[in-house]
Chain A
Amino acid sequence: MAEYRLKTPLREEDVRKLNIGDIVYLDGIIYTGRDEVHIHALELAKEGKNPPVDFKNMVLFHCGPLMKKYGEEWKVIAAGPTTSSRMNGLEPEFIERFGVRAIIGKGGMSGPTVEAMQKHGAVYLAMTGGAAALAADSFKKVHGVEWIEFGMPEAIWILEAENLGPLVVGIDAHGNSIYENVDEAVARNRKRAESVLGL
């Protein structure tokens, strides 16, 4: 497995070279976005309007950070990943419409997202869930916030990362998913678990 340090915006070739199990560290601007951002950005797109930031070639972070305002300046207090599977239903369309190149999250995403990532050239980067104090240390600057009216966790936070990682390539742009591999292994291991339980 290889290790990469990448800077946003990402080019398609940057993400096409990645394989599941590779380790990535990121620099540059990253946008947070979870349930409400997906819902509202896609609603706007249907009306022919654009969301307040351009996701093209950028990194979407499934994260509702804990932020604090000191004077006029926001600071990241804790910013770990949220459970990505909640966005399963909307992510394929989000990738297609907005051209996002990488998604950072936890827990993995389902088949249609794996296919969308292969088709449009995007990857899923797994961050350690709950490791939010560690991640906060990598966000050096907050460039702004959009859609704060949805509440702190659901807004789009524009964060500048420095050496954010280690992130594990969980889904690559070639149709491979660590999560699908683990699911297959778990299905095989289930017999062992059942035998411990006398089932």
Chain B
Amino acid sequence: MIDKETVENRVFELLKKASTGVPPDVRKALENAHSRESEVVPKMQMKAILKNVEVAETNSLPLCQDTGVHIFFVKGNLKLIDSFSEFEESIRNGLKRATEEVPLRPNAVHPITRKNSGDNTGVRMPYINYIPTDDPWLEITAFPKGAGSENMSFMSMLTPSQGLKGIKKFVLDCVIRSGGKPCTPTVIGVGIGGTSDIAMHIAKEALLRPIGDRHPEKDMAELEEELLRAMNETGIGPMGLGGKTTVLDVHVEYAYCHTASLPVAVNTQCWTGRRARARIYENGKIENMEG
């Protein structure tokens, strides 16, 4: 069994890591974008982004004041969790400690009264997703999600006759409608099929994949590359001020759907690409994962 302190401490460390630095794949993509831009304004944006990463990492302080709402993915051998209520309590405690000590901005508010809880927790927050597998470990992913990018989420129930062209047009429309608001250059997660909630869910899960990672199926991998090229033809550029880099990558996930449906969803991640994950083994060994 995995003990409470291990979970709480790991959650704290993951939140700190995700908030105060960028994964290696994201850094490389940002550096490439900086090299690619030639005009003064977009190049200046990418330079400020890279310098910001450097300052945040040096000072061990958050990259962005919007440290997000807190979503976790817990994947692996769920039998390693003795009590789910205690496990979730440990995640909440790790989050409260990170809010105080990293620090993270208290972002969680009641949706109607807008009253801020002050510690990033509240009803259904943090939001914890469980993905059971037969692996020997339990993997916790911290996925803090900023509002600038999350507000640029879209879903549509297309008709089957709209087909692949309809999907491509929808993604292009979403990226153009978002402009620079989600802090471009962004990563775009596209969820195709399932039901309305499944499409949105897998669009978000797609954002967990590292930049440059391609879908294992050839057709989907080609669709990702085609969408990536097309989005960067728009000229929206870093921060919507014009330029060559609008998106850093596009990740597509799909699920089989009803013969009468074609759900499609887009979820956007800002340039920080915040995520951090670690695997905890039964003997207490911890493996920090890159990216």
Q: Which residues of A contact B (CB under 8 A)?
A: 1, 21, 23, 36, 63-66, 68, 77-80, 82-83, 85, 106-108, 126, 128-134, 136-137, 150-154, 166, 168, 170, 178-179, 181-183, 185-186, 189-190, 192-194, 196-199
Contacts A106-B239, A197-B230 hold; do A134 and B59 have CB atoms under 8 A apart? Answer: no
Q: In the complex, how many angstroms separate the beta carbon of B288 from the nearest chain A beta carbon?
A: 22
Q: Choose from B41, B49, B107, B169 the contact partner of A131 (Cβ within 8 Å).
A: B49
Find chain A residues with CB under 8 A from B271 CB.
130
B107 to A, closest residue via Cβ: A153
Closest 10 CB pairs of A and B: A151-B116, A133-B56, A131-B52, A129-B183, A128-B48, A78-B65, A196-B230, A66-B105, A107-B181, A193-B233
Chain B positions within 8 Å of A85 at CB level: 181
Tell which of B9-17, B135-143, B172-180 binds the partner.
B172-180
Q: Size of chain B's interface in residues, with CB distance under 8 A?
A: 59
Nearest opposing residue in chain B for A85, CB measure: B181
15 contacts across the A-B interface (CB closer than 8 A): A66-B65, A78-B63, A78-B64, A78-B105, A80-B65, A106-B180, A107-B239, A130-B52, A131-B48, A134-B52, A150-B114, A153-B107, A178-B41, A194-B169, A196-B229
A82 B180 Cβ-Cβ under 8 A: no
When the two chains form their complex, are residues B242 and A64 in contact, meaning their CB atoms are under 8 A apart? no
Instruction: Kindly list chain A residues whose C-beta atoms are within 8 Å of the C-beta of B291.
Output: none
CA distance A69 to B52 in the complex (A): 23
Question: What B residues does A64 contact at CB under 8 A?
Answer: 65-66, 105
Inter-chain CA distance A66–B227, complex, in Å, is 35
B106 within 8 A of A: yes
CB of B278 within 8 A of chain A? no
Closest chain-A Cβ to B250's Cβ sits at a distance in Å of 12
Render B40-61 as a binary contact track against A, CB cut-off 8 A, 1 for contact: 1100110011011001100101
A196 vs B62: C-alpha distance in the bound complex, in angstroms? 38
Establish whether residues B235 and A134, one from each chain, have CB atoms under 8 Å apart when the complex forms: no
Determine the distance from Cα of A82 to Cα of B148 in the docked complex, in whole angstroms. 7
Q: With an 8 A cutoff between CB atoms, is B109 at the interface?
A: yes
Residues of B with C-beta under 8 A to A130:
49, 52, 63-64, 146, 183, 270-272
CB distance from B187 to the nearest CB of A (A): 13
Docked-complex contact A133 and B55, CB < 8 angstroms: yes
A137 to B114, CA, bound (A): 30
Which listed residue, A63, A83, A185, A198, touches B242 by the CB 8 Å rule? A185
Is the pair A106, B168 in contact by a Cβ cutoff of 8 Å? Answer: no
Confirm or deny: B289 has a beta carbon within 8 angstroms of a beta carbon on chain A: no
Determine if A78 and B233 form an interchain contact, defined as CB atoms under 8 angstroms apart.
Answer: no
Task: Tell me the bound Cα distance from A198 to B45 in angstroms.
Answer: 31
Q: How far is B67's CA from A106's CA once the two chains are assembled, in angstroms?
A: 17
Q: Measured between C-beta atoms, what is the minimum distance from B9 to chain A in Å? A: 21
What B residues does A192 contact at CB under 8 A? 233
Contacts of B44 in A (CB 8 A): 23, 128, 166, 168
- Closest chain A CB from B235 CB (angstroms): 5
